[in-house]
Amino acid sequence: MPVAKGASLDPAHTRATILDAATDLFYARGLDGIGVAELCTTIGVSKETLYRHFGAKDKLVQAVLESRSDKVTRWLRSAAESAGDDPFDQLAAVFDALAGWHAEPTFRGCAILNAAAQQHEGPPRAVARRHLDRRLELLTDIARRAGVTDPTTVGRQLLTLVSGATTLADHRGDTDAAVVAKQAALALLRH
């Protein structure tokens, strides 16, 4: 005798619950590391509900990654802005924010780049590209306002340091990778 517990019955809320929980589970276990069935039982939702909201696992993955990219981009941008107007301070703040993220016990690298590394083709690749483009935009803007002669190149070098630091924090456990990278980044910004 099936018993519907009647929790929320608010579709938007249900969708958000699935999205949030799936974000954490995919991040912790990998896209192929958790199946739809386990996903549903863990979240506390039926498969029919999940499929009515997202249609397919791939679509859920895409929704998860896009919302994650939005959130992370907003987070890093606000970290920069909260450091004031000075581009050097902003750049330092970006790397300090990264260091804080890397030190979190649940840190496992960039969820979006990890996903793109798992699925060589398909939506995650495109999301990853846009994600990096947005980050490059932020860093290039800082470089430009710092008055470097070639903001485009310096922006790319800063993005290289950001990406590399996250890689080392993940694969070598270097929780201070961003701090080390920050010194290099500031040196580059000073021409």
Which residues contribute to the site for its own copies (CB under 8 A)?
Answer: 28-30, 32-33, 108-109, 113-114, 116-120, 125, 128-129, 132-133, 153, 156-157, 159-165, 167-168, 171-174, 177, 180-181, 183-184, 187-188
Q: Pick out residues in 29-48 that bind DNA (CB under 7 A).
A: 32, 34-38, 44-48
Least distance between DNA and beta carbon 124 (Å): 14
| Whether 122 contacts 145, CB under 8 Å | no
* The CA-based dihedral angle spanning residues 44, 49, 51, 55, taken in that order and rounded to the nearest 10 degrees: -120
Q: Which residue has the tokens 């069935």?
A: 37
Q: Other CB atoms closer than 10 Å to residue 101's CB: what's the count?
A: 19
| Nearest-approach distance from CB 180 to its own copies, in angstroms | 5
Scan for tokens 């606000």, then name that residue. Answer: 78
- Residue 176 per-residue DSSP state: T
Q: Does 100 bind DNA (CB under 7 A)?
A: no
Cβ 80 to its own copies shortest distance, Å: 19
Q: Does 119 bind DNA (CB under 7 A)?
A: no
Question: Among residues 19, 21, 58, 77, which is the contact residue for DNA, using CB under 7 A?
Answer: 58
Answer whether 56's CB lies under 8 Å from 46's CB.
no
